Amino acid sequence: MSEESKSHPHRAPSFMAAGAADGGSFEYRLQRTPVGVVILDAARKIRSVNPLARQLLLGRESTTPLYGVDILSLHPEGARAKVGWLIDCARDSADGVASLLVTTPMGSLVAKVTRLHTGPAPANIGYCMMFHAQGELQMGDTGEDGLGPLLKLPLMRGKGGVTTLIDVDQVACLTAQGHYAEAKTLSFTAFCPRPLADLERRLDPLTFVRVHRRHLVNIRHVLAAERDQGRLHLRLADPDSTLIPVSRDKIDLMRRLLAV
């Protein structure tokens, strides 16, 4: 998640209503959008998570167990400081609440953390983290299948956690890296904080083809089809001239699409 603006660190952001009649005020949309909820212990380890929060953190198809996982480990390295800052603000604030307004390709998200007390000792503290999706997700649609095509790809570059948005037609390929992806573009390589399966669903299937379980290739940027140790590979137009393997079950498709 890339940070667009921060609210006051000790309370949730307030927004002016646009009027109940237009049905488009922040308060109206907040009540109609699904909410991702994560319960954390004092060490920021996950104790409970609802389906939407799981989807936002891991992607819709993932079945990875989350109980006991450090919430920071599920975010890109550049975003961990921001998530940690948000939790620390909730821990240290007088009212035990902190929030953050962020922007993702799915739209705006309001991330809110509330401090929970499970006992008298400081160690018996937990947190409730909530994600309000203010983009295109609507009540009853907790998946990404209903979203439109992805026009910009979020890429994280450098240690500062700066998110760059690049036109998807500049991407040569996307490679799965755990729960996220690595993007090779026509000018650089960067980390993409989205699962490969989610990206595949939102990219044009006539242009971005899953040629291998780990690789999604923009066939417009394929320079050559080569044989390497008896297997078909695609040479890409990125600065590294990356060679991507083609799965055996995708060879016929590649031959048809590339006329090779």
What is the per-residue pLDDT across 195-253, written as a single tens digit (0 to 9) for each? Answer: 888 888 888 888 899 999 999 999 999 999 998 788 899 999 999 999 999 999 888 88
In a domain, 139, yes or no: no
Closest by CA position to 165, among listed 144, 193, 196, 145:
193
Identify the residue whose tokens are 């500049």: 170
Here the CATH number for the domain that contains residue 248 is 2.40.50.1020
10 shares its domain with 112: yes
Which of these three, 74, 103, 133, is where a domain ends?
133
240 shares its domain with 191: yes
29 shares its domain with 106: yes
Supply the mean pLDDT for the chain: 77
Average pLDDT over residues 144-151: 62
248 shares its domain with 193: yes
184 shares its domain with 119: no
Closest by CA position to 12, among listed 125, 90, 85, 79:
90
In this structure, the number of other CB atoms found within 10 A of the CB of residue 18 comes to 14
Q: What range defines the domain where residue 35 resides? A: 2-133
Average the pLDDT over each of 51-55, 140-144, 153-157, 237-241 and give the range with the smallest value: 140-144
Quick one: 205 exposed, middle or buried, by C-beta within 10 A (0-12, 13-18, 19+)? exposed
126 shares its domain with 188: no
Edge to edge, the sheet with strand 222-228 lists 222-228, 231-236, 243-245
Closest by CA position to 44, among listed 2, 80, 97:
80
Confidence of residue 150 (pLDDT cuts 50, 70, 90): confident
pLDDT for the residue 142: 37
Nearby residues of 3 by Cβ (< 8 Å), 6 or more positions away:
82, 100, 102, 161
35 shares its domain with 127: yes
Do 139 and 34 touch, CB atoms closer than 8 A? Answer: yes
In a domain, 167, yes or no: yes
Residue with more model confidence, 126 or 230: 126
Here the CATH number for the domain that contains residue 119 is 3.30.450.20
Confidence of residue 256 (pLDDT cuts 50, 70, 90): confident
129 shares its domain with 181: no
In a domain, 170, yes or no: yes
In a domain, 63, yes or no: yes
Q: What is the DSSP string of the chain?
A: -EEEEE--TTS--------GGGT-SHHHHHHHS-EEEEEE-TTSBEEEE-HHHHHHHH-TT-----TT-BGGGGS-HHHHHHHHHHHHHHHHSSSSEEEEEEEETTEEEEEEEEEEESSSSTTSEEEEEEEEE-SS--TT--SSTTS----EEEEEETTTTEEEEEEGGGEEEEEEETTEEEEEESS-EEEESS-HHHHHHHS-TTTEEEEETTEEEEGGGEEEEEEETTEEEEEESSTT--EEE--GGGHHHHHHHHT-
6 shares its domain with 128: yes
124 shares its domain with 180: no
pLDDT for the residue 83: 83
pLDDT for the residue 131: 78
pLDDT for the residue 247: 92
In a domain, 142, yes or no: no
CA distance 18 to 27: 9
Q: What is the number of structural domains in the chain?
A: 2
Which of these three, 69, 102, 133, is where a domain ends?
133
Average pLDDT over residues 159-188: 87
27 shares its domain with 81: yes
pTM of the model: 0.49
Confidence of residue 187 (pLDDT cuts 50, 70, 90): very high
pLDDT of 26 strictly over 60: no
Nearby residues of 22 by Cβ (< 8 Å), 6 or more positions away:
none
Q: Which residues pair with 184 in a beta bridge?
A: 173, 189
In a domain, 140, yes or no: no
CA distance 183 to 176: 9
In a domain, 146, yes or no: no
114 shares its domain with 173: no
Both structure tokens of 10: 């000790």
CA distance 182 to 174: 6
